[in-house]
């Protein structure tokens, strides 16, 4: 949590510094004259933060995809799909904006016969015609002395005061005009008056008339339209023409980053349940049935699928328990049957020998036959004892307690056990080769294999022991030069009570296989009749 907080603070500082730099450059370059500096910094800061988040999201998604993590492929597909939709919509909106902008611009500069532009132009023509005609009539009235059509006249002096508000305003205007004749407009209350004047000695001859209210309304409306047109012209010519590219980028870049963030969150939300389900299936495929997939973020059919998966795992656990129980019962039945058979075999000669001794109890030949008969009984009792010991060892195999040790030490300790058996050993083991396993159980495996190899050779037994690294596994091999294993029992060689020896129990190789499998490894062999056999133990390094 503390590490994430430190990273968040660092990213915030980096985004703040970059935003200050970019905003300063933007404002000093002349592009930001029409933009408030606080607004520019705010938009830049948000864009930089979104940019950093987007880079992080892309890096994380690509890294997960390259590592082939569970759920990364569907997450990447969803992310690309959302991004394509976002980019496509952004391009479409940008194109629509440019098209609308050009349409408005063309409409603003349309030809005079187009209504949008011709309406204010025609109104201006009417308005200007009214003013020109009215001023010409006022000038004509002053020249000819003929006043009509609402035109009034007056001879005014600048040093006199007049009660007529219109004349009074005209006099005030003339005081500051400084010309001998001319035209102008005065406003009295809500009404406006046009007037022409001409100097006559120390006075002015004035002709004036009230402006039609409709003309005043038309002029004010036209003035408003022209103000709007001037703003539109400024917008088109001064802003959009120079900054349209930056405007589009300013709108689209944060939008694109937001879309990427939304795409990532959406893909995470959608793929979370699928990824959890995939992990659960992977664990089940490895044999782990103690898994349960959470459906907190699942919805619809995916939620139903997760629930079905959890139900299936529960049923598999039940089936596994029943199967193991049945296999265990069947195994012990087989062991009991084999054990009864193997014990019955030595009991028969013991019984017959004892019966013969009883028949010879009164015979002078008793002493002559006693020692050989007792030897037979002793051999068979030893055989029973060996069988019971092997069966006891097979039943007592426990899960391995692993430690790391050198393979060479293990091999040399096994060799030492057979030092008095006149066996020739050929050992090829790297002294640095190590394995993580149960030392005592692996020693028992090698003892069984070496013992079988010695017993398979009639004279001058020779055993080759090798150990080497193969990928993530350590391989230990034990080779003998005996008669080999017949083809008809090769497939059954690791099953209990399968043996090629008359006095063998048939449990030795079963014990080896069980121990190796408990270590997560495997055991196999190569054999050729008349040339011998080689058994391989393959164990994972870790």
Q: What is the average per-residue pLDDT within 90-105?
A: 72
> Which residues make Cβ contacts (< 8 Å) with residue 434, sequence separation at least 6?
404, 405, 406, 407, 474
Q: Report the distance separating Cα 442 and Cα 428, nearest Å.
A: 18
pLDDT tens digits for 313-346? 888 877 777 777 666 656 665 665 666 666 666 6
Using the predicted structure, report yes or no on whether residue 112 has a pLDDT greater than 50: no
Q: Report the distance separating Cα 137 and Cα 134, nearest Å.
A: 5
Can you give the pLDDT at residue 367?
A: 61
pLDDT tens digits for 426-435? 999 887 899 9
Q: Report the distance separating Cα 542 and Cα 520, nearest Å.
A: 10
Structure tokens of 182?
A: 């001319």
Q: In a 10 Å sphere around its CB, with 0-12 CB exposed, 13-18 middle and 19+ buried, how is residue 281 labelled?
A: middle
As annotated, the residues of the chain forming the CATH 3.30.565.10 domain(s) are 399-540
Q: Which of 245-249, 412-416, 469-473 has the least mean pLDDT?
A: 245-249
Exposure string over 178-195, b if 16+ CB within 10 A, otherwise e: eeeebebebeeeeebbbb
Confidence of residue 468 (pLDDT cuts 50, 70, 90): very high
pLDDT tens digits for 213-239? 887 777 777 777 767 666 666 555 555
Can you give the pLDDT at residue 432?
A: 84
Pairing relation of β-strands 462-470 and 424-429? parallel
Q: Report the distance separating Cα 238 and Cα 138, nearest Å.
A: 43
Using the predicted structure, report yes or no on whether residue 373 has a pLDDT greater than 90: no
For residue 14, the Cα-to-chain-centroid distance in whole angstroms is: 25
Q: What is the average per-residue pLDDT within 246-257?
A: 66
For residue 46, the Cα-to-chain-centroid distance in whole angstroms is: 24
> Which residues make Cβ contacts (< 8 Å) with residue 483, sequence separation at least 6?
456, 529, 530, 532
Given a contact cutoff of 8 angstroms between Cβ atoms, the answer to whether 240 and 247 are in contact is yes
Can you give the pLDDT at residue 509?
A: 82
Whether pTM exceeds 0.75: no
Given a contact cutoff of 8 angstroms between Cβ atoms, the answer to whether 382 and 413 are in contact is no
Q: What is the average per-residue pLDDT within 106-117?
A: 53
The top-level CATH class assigned to 399-540 is alpha beta
**Beta-bridge partners for 467:** 429, 476
pLDDT tens digits for 452-464? 888 888 778 899 9
pLDDT tens digits for 350-361? 767 766 666 665
**Angle of CA points 150, 154, 155, to nearest 5°:** 160
Of the two residues 418 and 399, the one the predictor is more confident about is 418
For residue 300, the Cα-to-chain-centroid distance in whole angstroms is: 22
Q: How many Cβ atoms sit within 10 Å of the Cβ of residue 69?
A: 14
């Amino acid at each position: 949590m503390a590490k994430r907080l430190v990273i968040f603070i660092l990213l915030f500082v980096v985004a703040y510094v970059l935003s200050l730099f970019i905003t300063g450059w933007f404002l000093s370059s002349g592009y930001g004259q029409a933009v408030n500096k606080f607004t520019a910094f705010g938009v830049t800061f948000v864009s930089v933060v979104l940019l950093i988040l987007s880079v992080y999201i892309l890096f994380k998604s690509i890294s997960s995809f390259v590592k082939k993590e569970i759920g990364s492929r569907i997450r990447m597909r969803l992310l690309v799909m959302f991004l394509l939709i976002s980019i496509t919509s952004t391009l479409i909106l940008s194109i629509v904006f440019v098209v609308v902008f050009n349409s408005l611009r063309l409409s603003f500069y349309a030809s005079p016969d187009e209504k949008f532009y011709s309406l204010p132009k025609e109104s201006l023509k009417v308005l200007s015609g009214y003013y020109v005609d009215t001023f010409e009539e006022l000038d004509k009235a002053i020249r000819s002395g003929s006043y009509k059509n609402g035109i009034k006249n007056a001879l005014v002096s600048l040093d006199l005061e007049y009660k007529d508000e219109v004349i009074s305003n005209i006099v005030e205007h003339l005081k500051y005009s400084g010309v001998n004749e001319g035209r102008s407009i005065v406003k009295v209350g809500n009404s406006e008056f046009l007037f022409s004047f001409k100097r006559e000695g120390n006075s002015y001859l004035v002709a004036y008339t009230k402006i039609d209210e409709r003309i005043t309304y038309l002029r004010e409306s036209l003035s408003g339209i022209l103000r709007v047109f001037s703003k539109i012209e400024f917008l088109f010519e001064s802003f959009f023409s120079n900054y349209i590219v930056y405007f589009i980028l300013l709108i689209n870049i944060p939008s694109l980053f937001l879309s990427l963030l939304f795409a990532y969150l959406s893909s995470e939300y959608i793929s979370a349940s699928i990824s959890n389900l995939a992990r659960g299936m992977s664990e089940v495929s490895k044999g782990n049935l103690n898994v349960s997939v959470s459906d907190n973020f699942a919805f619809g059919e995916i939620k139903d699928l997760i629930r079905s998966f959890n139900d299936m795992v529960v049923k598999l656990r039940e089936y596994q328990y029943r199967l193991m129980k049945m296999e265990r019962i069947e195994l012990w039945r087989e062991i009991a049957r084999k054990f009864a058979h193997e014990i019955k075999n030595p009991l028969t000669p013991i019984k017959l020998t004892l019966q013969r001794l009883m028949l010879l109890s009164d015979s002078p030949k008793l002493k002559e036959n006693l020692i050989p008969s007792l030897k037979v009984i002793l051999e068979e009792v030893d055989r029973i004892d060996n069988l019971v010991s092997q069966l006891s060892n097979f039943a007592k195999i426990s899960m391995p307690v692993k430690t790391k040790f050198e393979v060479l030490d293990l091999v040399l300790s096994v060799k030492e056990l057979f030092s008095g058996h006149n066996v020739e050993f050929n050992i090829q083991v790297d002294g640095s080769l190590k394995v993580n396993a149960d030392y005592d159980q692996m020693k028992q495996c090698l003892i069984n294999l070496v013992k079988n190899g010695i017993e398979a050779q009639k004279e001058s037994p020779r055993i080759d022991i090798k150990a080497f690294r193969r990928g993530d596994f350590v391989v230990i091999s034990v080779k003998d030069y005996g008669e080999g294993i017949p083809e008809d029992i090769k497939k059954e060689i690791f099953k209990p009570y399968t043996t090629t020896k008359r006095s063998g129990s048939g449990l030795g190789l079963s014990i080896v296989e069980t121990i190796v499998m408990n270590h997560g490894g495997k055991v196999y062999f190569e054999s050729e009749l008349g040339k011998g056999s080689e058994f391989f133990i393959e164990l994972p390094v870790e």
